[in-house]
Amino acid sequence: MSILSLIIFIPIIGAIILALMPKVEDKIYKYMALFFAMVPFALSVYLFIVFDRSASNTIQFEAVHDWIHAFGATYHVGVDGLSMPMVILTSFLGMVAVLISWKEHLRVREFFVWLLILEGSILGVFCALDLVLFFLFWEIEVIPMYFLISIWGSGRKEYSALKYVIYTLFGSAFMLAGIVCVYVSTNTLDMVSLASSGILSAVSYAPLLFFLLILGFCVKLPVVPLHTWLPDAHTDAPTAASVMLAGALIKMGGYGIMRLCVTCMPDMAQHYALLFEILAVIGIIYGGAITLRQTDIKRLIAYSSVSHMGFVLLGIFSLSEIGMTGATLQMVSHGLTTGLLFAVAGLVMHNAHERNIAKLGGLGQTTPKIATLFIIASLGAIGLPTTSGFAAEFSIMTGTYSSTVVAGTHPIVMIALLGLLIGAGYMLWTVQRVFFGPKLDIYNEMEDANNLEMFYCILFVILIFTIGLYPDFMTSLIKGGVSAVLAML
C-alpha cells in the first residue's frame, strides 16, 4: 500500500477497529484514537519532507489501482503542490481534534469513530485524482459530520446538522451531474488527464458544466450567498468538529475550485473570473460586517470564516501565480488560526460555562493562559506581520492587483483592503469584551488551560509563527502546484 493510501485509510480502519472491538474503558478508546490520528500525521510530515519541491507541479507519491471497470473509474491517489499542504493541515488538525476531545465523556467510542472517519474522508478528498473517488470521499464526509453535530453538539443541533447535510447534498447533486457530464463528453474520469488535455473547455455546454461543478464547492467554501449553513453548523458543533469544519473541511471548497474548475476549465475560469472576484469581495466585507454584530463567541468566529474565505476566493480567481499561492497559503493559515480560535473558544465555553460575549469579561486576570492564546490566535486572524495570516493575505492582495489574466481587479482589491480593518475590529473588540475589563466574581473559580491544552495550543502557535516568519517553506511547495494550473491558461 502506498504511503498516501495509508494516510487516508489508517483513520478509517482505526474507526472500524474502534467500532468493532469489545467494550473497554473510555480512556483506552481515546489513546487508540490518538494513535490512529498520529500515524497519518507522522506519515504526512514524512511526505512533506521528502516531497520533491523542484518538481512540485507533478503528481507525487502516486498510486493507481483498477476499481470500477464499468465506467473506467480507478483508485487513483497522489499529491502535488496544491494538495500536499492540505493533507498535512488535515492530518495535523485530525490529531489535535482528538486531543481537544480528551474531556469528552458522552458516548466516547462512537465519538471517536466518527471523528476518525471524518478525518479519513477529508484526506481522501485531497488525495483523490479520480472523479468518482473524489466524489465518494466528498459524500462520505457528510455522514460523520452529521452525527458529530446532532449528537455531541449544542443549541439547535438537529436543525444545524440537517441544514449542513441538505445544503451540502444540494451542492453535490449538481456536482454529480457535472461529473456525469464530464464522463459522457470525455469518456474519462481521471483528473490528471482531464487537466492536461484541456478537453473540457471544448465541450459545447462548457459554461453550464463549469457552474455545475463549482456550485458544490461554493457551498462548501462558502461563497456568499450560499453561506448560511456555516454559522449554524460551526456554532452548534462540538469543539473538535468545529475545528475540523473550519480548519480542514471548508478548504475542500477552495481546493476543489482550483483542482477541478480552474485546472480543467481554465478558459471558463478566466471568463467568469470577475464575477467570482466580486462575490469574493462581497464575502470579505459583508461577512466581516456581520461578524461584528455577533454575540455568541463561536458564532462570531464562524462568521469570520466567511470573510477569510472571501480572501481565498479572491486569490484563486486572480488566476495569477502569486494570488493562487496566497490563496492556498491562506487556507493553511486560516486552518491554523481559526482552528486555534475555536479550540480556545471551546476552553472558554467549557471552563466558564458561558458563550455569550456580553456575559463574559475580565478573563485576562482569571485565566491568563487562555487569554494569551486567544490574543495570539486573534493576531493571526487579523493578519499581523510575522503570523501566517499576513504572508497569505499580502500575497493574495498583491497577486490579485497585479494579475495580468484578470482585468478590473484594482478597485476590487482596494475594497477588499477594508476587510482587514473590519477584521481587526471584530477580533480586538471580542478580546476586549471577553478578556479585558474588571474581573467578574462568577468566574473566580474558572480553570485555566491545563498542560495538555497548553500543549496542543502551543503547537498551533508555533506553526502560525513559523509560516509567518518563513512562508517560503510552504510556498516553495505550493507555487509549483499553482504554476501547473496556470500553464493551462
Partner 1 sequence: MTIPEICIWLIWLLPLAAFALTWIIGWIKKDSPSAPYVIIATTASWLLSLWALINVFTDGNITTSSVQWLNIGALNVKFALELNPLSTVMLMVVNTVSLMVQIFSMGYMHGDHGYRRYFSFVALFTFSMLGLVLADSLLMLFMCWELVGLCSYLLIGFWFFKPSAASAAKKAFLITRIGDLGILAALIMLFNATGTFTISELHGLAAAGAIGSAVLTWSCLGLFLGSMGKSAQFPLHIWLPDAMEGPTPVSALIHAATMVAAGVFLIARMYPLFEAAPQTLTVVAWVGGITAIFAATIALVMQDIKKVLAYSTISQLGYMFVGLALGGVSVGMFHLFTHAFFKALLFLGAGSISHAVDSFDMRKMGGLKKAMPKTYWTFLIGSLSLAGIWPLSGFFSKEGILGSAVSAQPVLFVILLVTAGLTAFYMFRVIFKVFFGEYKGDKHLHESPNVMIIPLFVLAFLAIFVGWINCSNAFTVFVDGGESQSFVTGLVGALAHPLAWGSLLAAAFGILLAFTIYKFKKISAEKVSAALPKTYNLLSRKYYMDELIQDRINKDALLNGLFRFFAFFDKHVIDGLVNAVAKAVKGIGGLIRSVQNGRIPSYGLLSVIGLVVIVILMMVVK
Question: How many Å is the maximal CA-CA distance in the chain?
Answer: 68
Residue 182 CB, nearest approach to partner 1 (Å):
11
- Residues facing residue 164 across a β-bridge: none
The closest of 129, 90, 484, 122 to 324, measured between CA atoms, is 484
Q: Is 25 helix (H, G, I), strand (E, B) or coil?
A: coil
Q: Is 75 helix (H, G, I), strand (E, B) or coil?
A: strand
| Part of the chain binding partner 1 (CB under 8 A), chosen from 40-48, 108-116, 246-254, 434-442 | 434-442
| Part of the chain binding partner 1 (CB under 8 A), chosen from 106-114, 242-250, 266-274, 423-431 | 423-431
Residue 373 CB, nearest approach to partner 1 (Å):
15
| Part of the chain binding partner 1 (CB under 8 A), chosen from 236-244, 263-271, 349-357, 435-443 | 435-443
Contacts of 414 (CB under 8 A, 6+ apart): none
Residue 162 CB, nearest approach to partner 1 (Å):
8
Q: Which of 7, 88, 165, 332 binds partner 1 (CB under 8 A)?
A: 165
| CA distance linking residue 261 with residue 267, whole number of Å | 10
Residue 101 CB, nearest approach to partner 1 (Å):
26
Contact status: 1 vs partner 1 (CB under 8 A): no
Residue 470 CB, nearest approach to partner 1 (Å):
8
Contacts of 421 (CB under 8 A, 6+ apart): none
3-state helix, strand, coil in the chain (%, to 5): 75, 5, 20
The closest of 173, 159, 51, 33 to 104, measured between CA atoms, is 33
Contact status: 53 vs partner 1 (CB under 8 A): no
Residue 189, all three cell numbers: 474520469
The closest of 216, 257, 446, 12 to 20, measured between CA atoms, is 12
Residue carrying the nine cell digits 451531474:
177
Chain positions 335 to 374 lying near partner 1, rule: CB under 8 A, are 362, 364-365
Chain positions 255 to 314 lying near partner 1, rule: CB under 8 A, are 286, 289-290, 292-293
Give the residue with the Cβ less far from partner 1, 166 or 462: 166
| CB-based contact 395:315 (threshold 8 Å) | yes
Contact status: 161 vs partner 1 (CB under 8 A): no
Contact status: 429 vs partner 1 (CB under 8 A): yes
Give the residue with the Cβ less far from partner 1, 1 or 421: 421
| Part of the chain binding partner 1 (CB under 8 A), chosen from 41-49, 94-102, 242-250, 417-425 | 417-425
Q: Which of 27, 187, 408, 472 binds partner 1 (CB under 8 A)?
A: 472
Residue 388 CB, nearest approach to partner 1 (Å):
12
Contact status: 479 vs partner 1 (CB under 8 A): yes
Phi and psi at residue 237, to the nearest 5°: -75, 155
Tell me the C-alpha to C-alpha distance, in Å, between residue 447 and each of 50, 444, 457: 42, 9, 16
The closest of 261, 212, 272 to 405, measured between CA atoms, is 272
Phi and psi at residue 289, to the nearest 5°: -65, -40
Residue 108 CB, nearest approach to partner 1 (Å):
27
Give the residue with the Cβ less far from partner 1, 75 or 436: 436
CB atoms closer than 10 angstroms to residue 152: 22
| Part of the chain binding partner 1 (CB under 8 A), chosen from 52-60, 70-78, 176-184, 454-462 | 176-184
| CB-based contact 45:292 (threshold 8 Å) | no
Q: Which of 2, 58, 197, 402 binds partner 1 (CB under 8 A)?
A: 402
Q: Which of 205, 450, 462, 487 binds partner 1 (CB under 8 A)?
A: 205
Contact status: 156 vs partner 1 (CB under 8 A): no
Size of the site for partner 1 (CB under 8 A): 72
Give the residue with the Cβ less far from partner 1, 30 or 308: 308
Q: Which of 281, 302, 413, 484 binds partner 1 (CB under 8 A)?
A: 413
Contact status: 253 vs partner 1 (CB under 8 A): no
CB atoms closer than 10 angstroms to residue 421: 10
